């Protein structure tokens, strides 16, 4: 047991968030670590009840926590007075400037083999500053794109640090391709990566956007010089998508400005089994808020059939951020074994419910 329990905020939100966050909690509780969980409200349901999607208590209590697990919130598709997305507000308030999306092959029918990469997406600027305006009587729409040296520098540093940490974690235990897995492959890049230095691929379009993407590229290359043990390469964003689909196994860490990172990470998730398995972390310098990539899935909510794996894998990312790489690897291994044993939820073509999958993961912890 750790001396001091980790204080973790749980923000289930709406829809399947209320099912998958408790599932991740059960998995964490099965580990030989001490946690102190705090349940907090956010989302559409609390907005309807109280008039705010991010209650003051949530925004303040989370600051006293070591990390947070966010489920999903339902956003209205029409504009609703007073409503704004709580996840966007939390990312801003906690300065969670990096979005980390691991993309790893899984033993399920929809996954391609041999993939183990991490997309590091800048989370605060680029076109997402949402400075748009109409000109010329509404016949011209202009959006401002902001790239700063400061944001580019810290996202690059996060990417290079992650590249180093991934190599270290391989030494703790290669959980990714258990021998009994149907996708086990001695030629996998995982075995190769144990013999090759970590690598960061910088994504940009500096050939066209020479000032904005030029600054991003130049700043990333300058940070690269602080990490002589990490290889660096660059790739123009359109050919990046092409190569990602053609040969995803060749990539290690990919760093990109906000918009390119957003598009790349959804494309990459489609290579490895879909939304039910895709986790993400919003990380700052001292805090991580992890979440599944999927939304509140109203079409399957309250039926007990949501796939909890994305959120369970997100909880593993949180442990990694807390410095508990061994426990993180244990959870990842248990999820991989559960899937290799054919215990699949409906989205993967199986019949296991949320509770059954969660129990199966817990039973495989420490195998």
**Which residues are annotated as catalytic?**
128, 205, 238, 262, 266
**Cβ nearer to ligand NAI, comparing 324 with 347:** 347
Looking up tokens 């729409």 gives 141
Residue with tokens 């949501």: 306
**Which of 294, 320, 329, 340 contacts ligand NAI by CB under 6 A?**
294
Backbone angles phi and psi of 203, in degrees to 5: -105, 135
At its nearest, how many Å lie between Mg ion and the CB of residue 266?
5
Give CA–CA dist 91/124, Å, rounded: 8
Stretch near Mg ion under the rule CB under 5 A, chosen from 37-45, 117-125, 239-247, 256-264: 256-264
Q: Decide: is 73 part of the binding site for ligand NAI (CB under 6 A).
A: yes
Q: Does 325 bind ligand NAI (CB under 6 A)?
A: no
Q: Does 27 bind ligand NAI (CB under 6 A)?
A: no
Residue 212 interacts with, from Mg ion, ligand NAI, none (CB under 5-8 Å by kind): none
Is 215 a residue that touches ligand NAI (CB under 6 A)?
no
Cβ neighbours around 267 below 10 Å, total: 16
- CA of 231: how far to CAs of 149, 157, 221, in Å? 21, 13, 11
Helix (H) or strand (E) holding 204: strand 199-204
Q: Per rule CB under 6 A, is residue 152 in the interface with ligand NAI? A: no
Nearest distance, CB of residue 182 and ligand NAI, angstroms: 21
Say how far apart CA 35 and CA 159 lie, in whole Å: 28
* 292 token code pair: 């599944």
Nearer to Mg ion, 253 or 293 (CB): 293
Phi, psi of 282 (to 5 degrees): -105, 115
Q: How far is the CB of 292 from ligand NAI (least distance, A)?
A: 6
Q: Which does 299 bind (CB under 5 to 8 A by kind): Mg ion, ligand NAI, none?
A: ligand NAI
Number of residues forming the site for ligand NAI (CB under 6 A) = 22
Strand 140-146 relative to strand 279-283, pairing: unpaired
358 binds ligand NAI (CB under 6 A): no
Q: Phi and psi dihedrals of 116, rounded to 5?
A: -155, 85
Rg value, the chain, Cα: 20
Residues near ligand NAI (CB under 6 A) are 16, 20, 72-75, 87, 275-276, 291, 294-300, 306-307, 310, 345, 347
Residues near Mg ion (CB under 5 A) are 262
């Amino acid at each position: 047991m750790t001396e001091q329990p980790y204080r973790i905020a749980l923000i289930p939100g709406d829809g399947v968030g209320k099912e998958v966050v408790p599932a991740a909690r059960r998995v964490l509780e099965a580990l030989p670590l001490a946690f102190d969980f705090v349940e907090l409200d956010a989302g559409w349901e609390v907005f309807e009840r109280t008039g705010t999607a991010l209650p003051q208590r949530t925004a303040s209590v989370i600051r006293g926590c070591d990390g947070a697990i966010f489920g999903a919130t339902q956003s209205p598709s029409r504009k609703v007075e007073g409503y704004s997305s709580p996840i966007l507000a939390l990312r801003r308030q906690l300065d969670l400037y990096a979005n980390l999306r691991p993309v790893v092959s899984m033993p399920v029918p929809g996954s391609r083999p041999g993939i183990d990469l991490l997309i590091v997406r800048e989370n605060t600027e680029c076109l997402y500053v949402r400075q748009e305006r109409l000109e010329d009587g509404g016949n011209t729409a202009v959006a401002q794109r902001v790239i700063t040296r400061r944001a580019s520098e810290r996202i690059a540093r996060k990417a290079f640090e992650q590249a180093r940490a991934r190599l270290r974690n391989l030494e703790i235990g290669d959980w990714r391709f258990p021998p009994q897995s149907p996708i086990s492959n001695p030629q996998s890049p995982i075995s190769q990566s144990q013999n090759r230095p970590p690598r960061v691929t910088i994504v940009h379009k500096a050939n066209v956007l020479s000032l904005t993407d030029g600054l991003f590229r130049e700043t990333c290359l300058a940070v690269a010089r602080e990490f002589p043990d990490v290889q660096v390469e660059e790739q123009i964003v359109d050919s990046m998508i092409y190569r990602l689909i053609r040969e995803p196994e060749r990539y290690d860490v990919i760093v990109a400005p906000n918009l390119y990172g957003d598009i790349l990470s959804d494309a990459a998730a489609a290579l490895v089994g879909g939304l039910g398995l895709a986790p993400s972390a919003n990380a700052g310098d001292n805090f991580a808020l992890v979440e599944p990539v999927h939304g509140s899935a109203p079409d399957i909510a309250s039926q007990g059939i949501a796939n909890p794996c994305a959120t369970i894998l997100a909880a593993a990312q949180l442990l990694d951020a807390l410095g508990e790489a061994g426990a993180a690897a244990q959870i990842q291994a248990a999820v991989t074994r559960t899937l290799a044993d054919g215990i699949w939820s409906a989205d993967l073509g199986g019949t296991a419910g949320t509770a059954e999958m969660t129990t199966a993961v817990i039973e495989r912890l420490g195998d």
